[in-house]
């Protein structure tokens, strides 16, 4: 019999996640599909799931003017309403990226020309590359510069909190799936590559199932940071700076 490992990597660029989770689980009783071949159709190792966080150092850009920042696409709504025109004094940009890759082991029995496959390991890398922009009109060390910086750091913390929440959800669903479906086959050996693709697609489906939900939760949480109360609070700290804090999440 031939025992091999297939390695496949898929990259998804989404507004997504980060968290750390390492899980190893005991294999349950073999499913009925493999019972008649249980002497050879079984995983050679317990699947390992790693959800790995990666947060890059924050990049700071103080070179752009308010006019330039006004041209950025803003994801939250002006809390003062459409009738009030505000300039953007600062913003946080930071899409979340998610990559996942799997090692899929398989064994082929030449007596039957059948193969069985299993997840050997699965790694999900979740990271964010945040950038904080503050308009150059607010020099470093001034009240408004410091106030906007504090505000934008709240946006980064929101991303971390949302990422942790949804990484838990994704980790739970993947763990449940791999516990219930830890062996694939036996199937014709000629279908090994096709089954491998199906196994990878099923992991991608679990991840993508939460993407839209996460994006909406993120938008709502970031909007709470960009509330009128928050803008007024920070503006009150710097009465000599500007009338209103004009900072928005990007």
For 108-137, how does the pLDDT look when each residue is reduced to its tens digit (9 = 90+)? 999 999 999 999 999 888 778 899 999 999
**Can you tell me the distance from the alpha carbon of 191 to that of 199, in angstroms, rounded to the nearest whole number?**
12
Q: Residue 21: its pLDDT value, please?
A: 32
Which residues, 6+ apart, have CB-to-CB distance to 113 below 8 Å? 188, 189
**64: pLDDT strictly greater than 50:** yes
The pLDDT of 160-171, averaged and rounded, is 86
CB 88 within 8 A of CB 74: yes
Structure-model confidence comparison of residues 103 and 14, the more confident one: 103
Q: Residue 72: its pLDDT value, please?
A: 78
**15: pLDDT strictly greater than 50:** no
Three-state DSSP class for residue 91: strand
**3: pLDDT strictly greater than 70:** no
Distances (CA, A) of 199 to 178, 204, 213, 226: 10, 9, 23, 41
Nearest C-alpha neighbor of 96 from the set 212, 216, 13, 204: 13
Structure-model confidence comparison of residues 84 and 194, the more confident one: 194
Q: Residue 243: its pLDDT value, please?
A: 40
For 196-249, what is each residue's pLDDT tens digit? 999 999 999 998 888 888 888 988 998 888 888 887 887 788 874 444 444 444
Nearest C-alpha neighbor of 217 from the set 51, 73, 96: 96
Confidence class for position 141, pLDDT limits 50, 70, 90: very high
| Residue 34 structural domain | 2-249
pTM of the full predicted structure? 0.73
Q: At what angle do helices 211-225 and 143-180 cross, to 10 degrees?
A: 160
Q: Residue 34: its pLDDT value, please?
A: 55
User: Distance between the two ends of the chain, CA-based, in angstroms?
Assistant: 55
Mean pLDDT rounded to a whole number for the chain? 78
Q: Residue 245: its pLDDT value, please?
A: 46
CB 110 within 8 A of CB 93: no
**Can you tell me the distance from the alpha carbon of 200 to that of 100, in angstroms, rounded to the nearest whole number?**
9
Three-state DSSP class for residue 153: helix
**38: pLDDT strictly greater than 70:** yes
Residue 109: beta bridge partners? 114
CB 104 within 8 A of CB 182: no
**Can you tell me the distance from the alpha carbon of 85 to that of 30, in angstroms, rounded to the nearest whole number?**
64
Q: At what angle do helices 143-180 and 228-237 cross, to 10 degrees?
A: 140
**Token digits of residue 123:** 């790694």
User: How many independent structural domains does the chain possess?
Assistant: 1
Q: Residue 213: its pLDDT value, please?
A: 87
């Amino acid at each position: 019999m031939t025992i091999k490992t297939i390695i496949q990597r898929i990259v998804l660029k989404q507004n997504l996640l980060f968290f750390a989770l390492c899980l190893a689980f005991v294999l349950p009783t073999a499913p009925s599909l493999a019972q008649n071949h249980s002497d050879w159709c079984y995983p050679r190792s317990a699947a390992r799931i790693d959800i790995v966080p990666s947060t890059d150092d924050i990049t700071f850009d103080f070179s752009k003017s308010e006019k330039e920042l006004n041209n950025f696409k803003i994801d939250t709504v002006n809390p003062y309403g459409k009738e009030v025109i505000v300039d953007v004094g600062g913003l946080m940009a930071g899409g979340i990226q998610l990559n996942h890759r799997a090692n899929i082991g398989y064994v082929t029995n030449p007596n039957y020309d059948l193969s069985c496959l299993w997840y050997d390991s699965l790694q999900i890398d979740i990271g964010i590359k945040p950038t904080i922009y503050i308009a150059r009109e607010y020099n470093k060390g001034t009240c408004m510069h410091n106030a906007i910086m504090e505000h934008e750091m709240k946006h980064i913390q929101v991303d971390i909190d949302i990422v942790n929440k949804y990484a838990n959800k994704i980790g739970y669903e993947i763990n449940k799936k791999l516990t219930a479906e830890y062996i694939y086959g036996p199937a014709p050996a000629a279908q090994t590559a096709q089954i491998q693709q199906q196994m990878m697609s099923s992991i991608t489906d679990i991840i993508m199932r939460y993407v839209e939900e996460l994006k909406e939760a993120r938008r709502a949480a970031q909007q709470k940071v960009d509330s009128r109360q928050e803008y007024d609070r920070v503006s009150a700290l710097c009465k000599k700076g500007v009338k209103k804090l004009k900072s928005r999440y990007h």
